[in-house]
Structure 1
């Protein structure tokens, strides 16, 4: 290899290292993509609230009703419990 190609290869390697390091250092984004396990847990929570993904006849109503129930449950879980 001649000197120019070694320098170019070194610069390319350095650029890849910097790009991968900055990609790994991204802060947590709760609105980012979910894992498969998170999606399955979310679907199980919706099904426990009464949502049936195969019920296309009552689709908007059953999804809205289950969404409201899931939102209420999550809000109740997020609130600190008062000591009595």
Structure 2
């Protein structure tokens, strides 16, 4: 009967260890690393602040490219940093 609690404790420890490794690793040095929800939201708000409107379907490619150019120019001047 003592082996069942050991099995349960082992499974619980395994689940805890797996969840610790499953947490997103925020790395600013790797541009290919997955972004956190907060980073995506920050980037979206940045795009909105330079004039991008996701609801403007009629001017979609031009609207997005214009916002991208503005963000790139501001990054080059050091005014903003995108993480």
Note whether the superposition's TM-score is higher than 0.5.
Answer: yes
1:13 corresponds in structure 2 to: 12
Unaligned runs of 5+ in 2: none
Q: 1:15/1:48 Cα in 2 relative to 1: closer, same or farther (>3 Å)?
A: closer
Higher helix content, 1 or 2: 1
Once the 2 structures are TM-superposed, how far is the Cα of residue 69 of structure 1 from its aligned partner? 0.9
Equivalent in 28, 31, 51 of residue 26 of structure 2: 28
Give, in whole Å, the separation in 2 of the partners of 1:22 and 1:34: 15
2:62 corresponds in structure 1 to: 61
1:72 is paired with a residue whose SS is helix
Query: TM-score with structure 1 length normalisation?
Result: 0.63
- Runs of 4+ in structure 1 deviating by more than 6 angstroms, as ranges, are none
* 8 A contact 2:26–2:36 mirrored in 1: no
